[in-house]
Amino acid sequence: MAEIFDVSIATLRPGANAGALKRLAETLTGQAARGRLLACWYSDIGALNQVMIVRGFANEAALAEERKAMVLAADAFGLGDMAVTLASDCYAPFDFLPPMQPGKFGPVFEVRTYLCKPGGLAGTIEAWRQHIPGRLKLSPILTSMYTLGGPTPRFMHVWPYPDMNTRQKIRADAVSAGVWPPPGGAVRLLTQHSDIYFAAPFSPIQ
């Protein structure tokens, strides 16, 4: 069975990034850490002062236990007053994509998040299944995954790039060649959002 993921986003006070990353290096890699840490990234373009943490869990029961512990914890990641808000979601990966693994892929990570219309997720996944092979000829994807809870589904996909200029060129080439985005996708969506992240020094995915 494929791993499922907790994706947590901490919104930090302005100027708190350096201190927060230092603290997270301790809490996410120490003996008390839970789950398989895959990524700890900080935002650079889009919603600023955010840190995204991605951890893998073997099954839904293990993830449910962790989420219960997070809800009951006084300070889930030890960020104290450096954090303004903390949001978490459970995600399952698209089953036809390779699993996320530690390694060097970026250093630029584009995280795109979409809110689907009710009933729109299944068609979105099928369109991806059919059309992602053509897009992958231009550059690799890190992951695409969908939320496991809530009546209005969301999905998130992450694309690594060596730099912003390469990102711009590949995206333009994909549209010009007609290989991406999948046709009909917009009719299934309510909102779209994109952020650019960079990896913290201790992040397993760089």
User: By the 8 A CB rule, do 110 and 194 touch?
Assistant: yes
Q: pLDDT truncated to tens, each residue of the chain (206 aa)?
A: 689 999 999 999 999 999 999 999 999 998 778 899 999 999 999 999 999 999 999 999 999 999 999 999 989 999 999 999 999 999 999 999 999 999 999 999 999 999 999 999 999 999 999 999 999 999 999 999 999 987 789 999 999 999 999 999 999 999 999 999 998 888 999 999 999 999 999 999 99
Q: Which two tokens stand for residue 91?
A: 């995600």
Nearest residue to 79 via CA among 40, 134, 135, 46 = 40
Q: State which amino acid sits at residue 57.
A: F
The half-sphere exposure of 59 on its side-chain side, counting CA atoms within 13 A, is 2
Report the distance separating Cα 22 and Cα 83, nearest Å.
Answer: 13
Enumerate the β-bridge partners of residue 8. Answer: 53, 88
SS (H, E, C) 132-196: HHHHHCCCCCCEEEEECCCCCCEEEEEEEECCHHHHHHHHHHHHHHCCCCCCCCHHHEEEEEEEE
The C-alpha atoms of residue 170 and residue 172 are separated, in whole angstroms, by 5
**CA 140 – CA 137 distance, rounded (Å):** 8
